């Protein structure tokens, strides 16, 4: 697991580094920063799995940092570490679907527990990612090699931002020819395919219970839950709530 620490107090930052390094497991600290703005830049560049973040930091506070990262649709997990035993901070953290809220000084047992929790979530993601990859490639076995590569990119990056223009550039094609080739090989436009694929992954996550329901829109590439609900209904004919209700009836 790749970990970042965002904490403005040097002693607290170094203490957390030593604590994590002392815990047995596949944990790597990829960055340790002292302010929220640098943390955001490093998260966008390094894509850590987990960030331990302080609430009070210069330039960008911890909760604003989490919101900024969420707007980029990254699957980064967060653990808030704060000296403030304040209900409002805790409530806001919960609303942002953080993996944990720890009070300073964080106890070893608490840090170890939250690392195990996030590790389990990441393992679930990897399991479903492997299954999805096999399913998607299998649907278009005779597709053009460049389209198969495009499908790989969609599989790996559907939770983030993907544009037809950037994908075409990566494959060395003009946007117009890529659009033609993709439609010819899959039978639908790129935008329709990506939209339906994201909703299909959302349905898998609802079915498996591998993610918190409130987190699912962001886990499949949407930055707005209301827009996700709209698209989900257009694609499936049901709202997410209706889909979940029908699933429970069929159990």
- For residue 97, the model assigns a pLDDT of 73
CB atoms within 10 A of CB 58: 11
- For residue 177, the model assigns a pLDDT of 94
Residue ranges of the domains in the chain? Answer: 2-121, 127-250
- CATH 1.10.10.60, applies to 127-250: yes
Quick: pLDDT tens for 188-222. 999 999 999 999 999 988 887 767 788 899 999 99
- For residue 85, the model assigns a pLDDT of 62
- For residue 15, the model assigns a pLDDT of 93
- For residue 251, the model assigns a pLDDT of 47
Q: With a cut of 50, which residues of the chain have pLDDT below it?
A: 128, 130-131, 133, 251
Quick: pLDDT tens for 114-152. 998 888 877 766 554 544 545 677 788 888 989 998 998
Q: Any idea which fold 2-121 has?
A: Rossmann fold (3.40.50)
């Amino acid at each position: 697991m790749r970990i970042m620490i965002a904490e403005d107090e040097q002693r607290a930052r170094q203490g957390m580094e030593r604590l994590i390094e002392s815990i047995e497991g596949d944990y790597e600290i990829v960055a340790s920063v002292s302010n929220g703005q640098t943390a955001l830049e490093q998260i966008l560049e390094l894509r850590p799995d987990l960030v331990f973040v302080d609430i009070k930091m210069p330039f960008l506070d911890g909760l604003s940092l989490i919101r900024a990262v969420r707007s980029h649709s990254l699957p980064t997990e967060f653990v808030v570490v704060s000296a403030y035993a304040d209900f409002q901070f805790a409530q806001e953290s919960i609303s942002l679907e953080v993996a944990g809220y720890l009070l300073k000084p964080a106890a070893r047992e608490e840090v170890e527990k939250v690392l195990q929790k996030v590790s389990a979530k990441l393992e679930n993601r990897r399991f479903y990612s492997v299954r999805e990859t096999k399913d998607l490639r299998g649907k278009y076995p005779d597709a053009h090699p460049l389209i198969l590569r495009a499908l790989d990119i969609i599989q790996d990056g559907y939770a983030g931002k993907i544009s037809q223009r950037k994908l075409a550039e990566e494959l060395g094609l003009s946007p117009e020819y890529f659009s033609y080739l993709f439609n010819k090989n899959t039978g639908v436009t790129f935008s329709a395919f990506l939209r339906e694929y994201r909703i299909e992954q959302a349905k898998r996550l609802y079915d498996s219970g591998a993610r918190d329901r409130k987190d699912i829109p962001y886990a499949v590439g949407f930055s707005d839950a209301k827009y996700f609900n709209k698209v989900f209904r257009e694609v499936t004919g049901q709202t997410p709530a209706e889909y979940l209700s029908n699933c429970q009836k069929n159990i």
